[in-house]
Structures are given as structure tokens and as C-alpha cells.
Structure 1
């Protein structure tokens, strides 16, 4: 069981201990694991069972060698693994995506998604027929017809969870012949220190950073968030000291460190902290109102769901499913469409377009070239093509093009700044992810191959979108978020195609949807932050080619749709995710 030292993981471990199971605890910190082990041993002793508890401290779920070594140890102690519970998680950056660091983005995905993948993939070597993989995800990434749930300030979190749900489905297909089952459950809000002391307060602080607070600049509110917010709810003397420490740092940066200035600032900081608490309580209250009985789940109730899914009959009935464990009625705007209103090519005249691709596949190279040619012919002011593989230079010689390192934040920011300096305001950025190999099984995939997929379908798109939006905003917008208001531009992600062919198996469809399933909630969350939080007119679109019948993409429709989105055709519409080949001809 991952993430089993505290919270939900500990609650689940207790239920297994009551049932007499042998329990393997793992996590990064030794002390919580030791404390949990003691609790479990007491439960086992009182129950009179023969269950045993093993702990593996210092193991991060994203650590390839650490996980491998742990499962080797488990096999030596217990012989096999019957149930894996993927529970480990972190809050991740609770920030507007423009201000979340690359490091925070990557760490969140590493824990939530890569940790889930590698724990399952490595653990399969210790599993036999009848084994079960239970994955705990979130309802903040699931879809309902033309809806897609966003979760503001949590872009890497929602992307990870969306992919995690689809990965759980995919593993069920891949492991069916081995008699191993995979089920996911999506709890709603759960009573926990994480949600009360981290997620809601940090979200409140972010609202304040963007919206402003009298007497403090946005960058100074960040100091309050870092220095004082962690003490929210503590004893008043501890809060007062934290506020004064934050005030002292702000005063130092202002160049006025006298006692009167620090004292006045401490009062302002205390007021900002109180406002954060007020907003956090409002967020909590609004969420409660969307639940039928107004109650968040308890950690024991989540544990009850996991125990239920462990049952032999239940796991067979629900194999390959994502089971809601929430009762949240979460209304969202419908944002999924099947067609784009095609604009005349003249709408591209005078525009500056940046086309980027990480794929060297002939299909994707041709798509980029065709869109670049159409845009040039339509009178675009400038078309810039950025590609990953320097060997692709020959394909794009007729355009202003560069090979860049898409893994480098500095390189991406530099090239966007250069384009803006030389050619003027960037109107649109279009990125092509290319496809993954749908014949490759996730359950037997090498870690290096998985990491490459994460880079291509999550990290690089996230970095490009972030830097594109920053480039479209006036200088200084990161420090003063109000400057994002009213900015214009479009970003289009062209994600992986649906599989093609006359007979597409459920297995291939499931594999294809893992990273499509990451980009959908990412798109929804990013747009919510762009519009509702920042007041920006920049919009992110996701185009997914191919259809449910396995037909080849209609290239004319695809090209026209992408260019129309790039020209701004859907800026005033809700739709942001487009299945362009599902539309009738």
C-alpha cells in the first residue's frame, strides 16, 4: 500500500489489519510508517490473527530502483502480493498554472501518475492469478457527456488523475488473461489535514494573489503564503510570530526595516491571513453545498470502498471500471464539441503563428507543413516552426524554423521571447504531440519508455502552454497577475489520434486513451484559470483526430479546424475540446 503512513492510507491499512491480512507499508518518511505499524500490530494482536506488518521507509513511489527493491523484499518475506493499493499522492502546486514552477509540475506528475504506473508494473512480478490493483484517483477529472470537470489551481494534478483513471482501465484489459484485476475509485472531498491545511488555504491565497489585497503587492502576498499561511489555525502567538516574520521579509525587500514599518506591515499581513481563512472556509462551504447531505467522506468511508473493491466477486463485477465514491453534484459548462466553425483563410492575415512538434513521424511532419503552407498563403505575418529533432530541418527549410530542446524551460521561453521581439505579438501557438505506439503494453513497458511518454504528452505540452500564455501577456504579468486581464491569443494542442482500422479492440482503445485522458482535464482546468481567474481572453483548445469507428482522420477537416481555432473562431464559445472526425460530413 503506497502512501500508507498517514491519512487515507493508514485508514485503509487498519481495515486490512482487522481482516487479518499481511500488510506492506511504504512511504518516504520512517516515523509515520513506524507509528502506523504499531497501530496495525495492536489491531492484529487484538483480533488474534496471524497477519504481519512490513515497512519500507524511504521509498518514493516515483523511484524506479526503490520500488523494485521493495517488491523484491516483499517476495522474500511473503512470497507474493495479492493486492496493490495505489494511494500515494501530494497536493501538488495549488497555483495558477502560469506561476507554478516546472519542478512542482513534474513532481506532482511523478508521484500521482508515474508512481501509480511503476508500482503496478513492478508489482506485477510478484502477483499471481487473482491479484488485484486498486487505484485511488479523484472525481475532479471525470467526464459526463459533453462535460469535463476542471479543478482550478491544479493543472498537473488533474492531468495526472485523468491519465491515472484511464491507465487503471487499460491495465484491466492488458491483465485479463493473467487473471489480475484493475479497478479505480474516485473519492470526492475527504476529511483530511491535506484538504483543510493545504489545498483550501493555498487556493484562497492564490485567489488573493491574483485579486489583490490592500497594502500588499502580489509578490508580497506570496511571502505571506510561504511564511504565515502554514500557521493558519495554530495558537495565536505562533500566528503572530509568523505574520511578523513575513512582515520583516517584506519590509526588507521594500528597503524600510524600521520597527514602525514592520509593525504596520504585520497588521496588514494578519489581515491578509484572516482573509485567506475566510475564503478557504467559503470554498469548503460551497463544496459542501454540492453534496447531497452536505458531508465530506471520512477516511474510514474511503477505506470501506477499497475493502469492498478487494472482494473477489465485487472486483470481478467491476474490473476495468472507475467507481465514483463521491456524491458531489459538480455542475460544469459543456466544453466538448465535434465540429469547428471554419473561418475564411483571410482571418489569418497579419497573424503570427508558432507551430511546434515533438514528433518526427511522417504523418505529423506533413500536417505541420500543410498548416504552415496554408497559413503563409493566407497572408500570415509570420509562421515559425519549432521541431525537436535536428534531423527534421530538411522538412521545414521553406519556413522560419528552429530545432529546440523542448525539455528546457529556458530554451522555450527564449524562443518565444525572440519571436515576439522580431515579429510582434504572438497570436497563436499550435503544438502537435504525435501518437504513442498503441501496440506497446503498459504493463510490460520499460521505465525509460514510460518516462519518455510522460515528457512528450504531459511535461512538454504543459511547459509550452505556460510559456505561450506568458509570451502573449504584457511584460511583468507573472509579478502582477492583473496584467493578464484582457490579453488575447490562442493555444491549440493537437493530441494523439484515435486508433484506426476496421476492427479496433477495446485494448487498443484503452491504451490510446491514457494520454488523451490526461490532456482533456488539463485543457478544462487551464481554461478555467485563464478565463475565470486571470480574466484573460487567451484560450486553450485540444484537438483529437480520428473517430470511434476507426476511420482515418479527414485531413482537410483537421487542417481547417486547427487553423480556424488558431485564428480565434472559438474564443467566445464554451467548447474547447474537439473530436473533429466525429462530426458528420
Structure 2
């Protein structure tokens, strides 16, 4: 019988995050999610009432701290933190990217993981156990032309992950990064449309480029990411920490 764990997931009322949240709930765990989309939160609450969804801006330390205080009061702490929040950022050449757009991408994709982790770590240390999973990307393993702030943030997430793993090993707290390739869904469709417009080509050509350099030539399904999160949080992965694990069908070369 699975012992219910306390799971917190950012940006999880829709998309990949929702799939991950529902997978943990189906496995019998207590799941708390954050999101900024009020409509998505309402839809999740109606669809999965066992999952507690809260409106939280992950770039706000005040809102993050209040969310963790709420979960601690209701559940007594946290066992698993999944830093899923991220945005695509601008699709543009570096010299044309606005300063505000750069900072916004870094804030959501990187700084939010610092803000959540600094709240989760003391709670996990109390239990002398825990699992933190940071969502990076294959963009955190390769350069990514026209998406430099996103790639910079995702590379930094890998460094953050490995450094946290070094600091937290004595408390039996594991920290890993998942690096998805192109994931099926609305967000990837928007990314492809933006790049096609920027490069004056078709979405179909961009989609072909994204899979042409992979050994397995298809997009990742959100459920595959959820399955990896479940594994990395399980006793079966008790000696896996400090890793950046690609789930991308093996990227051989990167497009453009």
C-alpha cells in the first residue's frame, strides 16, 4: 500500500502540470497545486476536487511563502516539490529582445524555482527526506537560437539542481531535473506558430525540424513526464540525485 505523500506542484491547473498532478492524485497522494489562471483553477477543482488548487504568482516571494504556510497548516509539510512553472519567453534574436521580456522569462522559469525551494527545504529537513524535481528542458542541454532567455534559464535550472543536490544529500533530500524535448499540447503549438512567423515558414516545417534530429521522431506526451516524476519521487529512485534527465527520444542534433 502506497503511503500518501504531500505533493506541491507549480503551474499545474492545466497542461503538463495538470497531467502530473492528476497522476500523483491517482497514486493516492495529497496534491496541492498553484496557478495564475483562475479559470483553469476552477476547471481543475471541478474536474479533480481531491486536488487543492490555489492562485499563486510564482514570481512573488510573498505569495509563494503564503502558499507554503497554507499547505503546512493543512497537511503538515511537504514531501515532494515539482517546479513546473515556465513560459516560452520571446521568440526573437537576442539584440531585439526587450529587457522586460528577458527578465520576465528568467523570473518565471528560474527564479520561481529558487523561491519555492527555499520554502520547501526547511520543511523537508524536518522530515529528513524529500524529493525536488525541477523542470528544465533539452534547451538546458543545447543552445536554442531565437529563444535565448528560455535556454539561459533552463541551463541555469540544471546548475541549480546539481548544486541543491550537493547541499541536501545529508538530509536524504534528492534533487533532479527533467529535461523534456518537444511536448505535445497547446503550448508547443504556440511556440511553433511563433517561430514559423519569425522565420517566415510554415508550422509544419518547424514541427518537422523539431523531430528530425531525434532518434525517436515524435513529440513527448505529457503522461510520459508524469510517469518520470512518479518514478523519481519513489523509493525505486532513492539513489538518483543531482541528475538532468532528458525525456526527448534522444536529441542527436538541434534545429537551426
Q: Residues 13 and 40 of structure 1 are in contact (CA less than 8 Å); yes or no, is this contact kept in structure 2?
A: no
The CA deviation string for residues 134-192 of structure 1, in whole angstroms up to 9 with x for no partner, is: 111101221xxxxxx21111111111000101101111111112221111111111101
- CA distance in 2 between counterparts of 1:187 and 1:116 reads 17
Alignment deviations for residues 395-452 of structure 1 (CA, whole Å, 9 cap, x no partner): xxxxxxxxxxxxxxxxxxxxxxxxxxxxxxxxxxxxxxxxxxxxxxxxxxxxxxxxxx
Distance 1:317 1:123 in 2: 20
User: Given the two structures, how large is their TM-score scaled by the length of structure 1?
Assistant: 0.41
**1:324, distance to aligned residue in structure 2 (A):** 1.4
Q: Distance in 2 between matches of 1:84 and 1:37?
A: 20
Question: Aligned in 2, Cα 1:32/1:205: closer, same or farther, shift over 3 Å?
Answer: same
- SS in structure 1 at match of 2:94: coil
Give the superposition deviation at 1:123. 1.7
The answer to whether the aligner puts 1:182 opposite 2:175 as a matched pair is: yes
1:204 to 175, 196, 205: 196
Tell me whether 1:311 sits opposite 2:227 in the alignment.
no
Distance of 2:54 and 2:63 partners within structure 1:
9
SS in 2 for 1:190: coil
Partner of 1:123: 120
Which residues of structure 2 form unaligned runs of 5+? 1-8
Q: 2 CA distance for matches of 1:136 and 1:325?
A: 11
Q: Any idea what the Cα deviations from partners look like across 1:74-126, whole Å, max 9, x if unmatched? A: 00000010100000111111111111111100000000100011111112233
The separation in 2 between residues aligned to 1:13 and 1:37, in whole angstroms, is: 12
The aligned counterpart of 2:3 is none
Q: Secondary structure at the match of 2:86?
A: coil
Contact kept, 8 Å, 1:71 with 1:126, in 2: the verdict is no
| Displacement after TM superposition at 1:327 (Å) | 1.5
Quote the Cα distance in structure 1 between the aligned partners of 2:195 and 2:96.
13
Secondary structure (helix, strand or coil) at the match of 2:128 reads strand
Gaps of 5+ in 1: 42-51, 143-148, 209-275, 333-527, 533-585
Contact 2:161 2:176 (8 Å CA) reproduced: yes
Tell me how far 1:60 sits from its aligned partner. Answer: 1.3
Q: Following TM superposition, by how much is the alpha carbon of 1:286 offset from its aligned partner in structure 2, in angstroms?
A: 1.9
Q: Distance in 2 between matches of 1:326 and 1:14?
A: 22
| SS of equivalent to 2:81 | strand
Larger RCO (alpha carbons 8 Å, 6+ apart)? 2
Match of 1:28 in 2: 36
Provide the C-alpha distance between the structure 2 equivalents of 1:122 and 1:102, rounded to a whole number of angstroms: 28
Equivalent-residue separation in structure 2 for 1:118 and 1:79 (angstroms): 19
Are 2:221 and 1:298 aligned?
yes
**Which structure has the bigger radius of gyration?**
1
Q: Hey, what's the Cα distance between the residues in 2 that align with 1:156 and 1:323?
A: 21
Match of 2:4 in 1: none
In the alignment, structure 1 residue 325 sits paired with structure 2 residue 247: yes
Mapped contact 2:215–2:250 kept (Cα < 8 A): yes
Question: Is 1:163 matched with 2:156?
Answer: yes
Give, in whole Å, the separation in 1 of the partners of 2:148 and 2:110.
Answer: 13
TM-superposed deviation, 1:72? 0.4
Match of 1:19 among 14, 17, 27: 27
**Segments ≥4 residues shifted beyond 4 Å:** none
How far residue 195 of structure 1 moved from its aligned partner, in angstroms, is 1.0
Specify the alignment match of 1:68 in structure 2: 65
Q: How high is the TM-score relative to the length of structure 2?
A: 0.91
In the alignment, is residue 85 of structure 1 matched against residue 82 of structure 2? yes
Residue 105 (structure 1) aligned with residue 102 (structure 2): yes
Q: CA RMSD in A?
A: 1.6
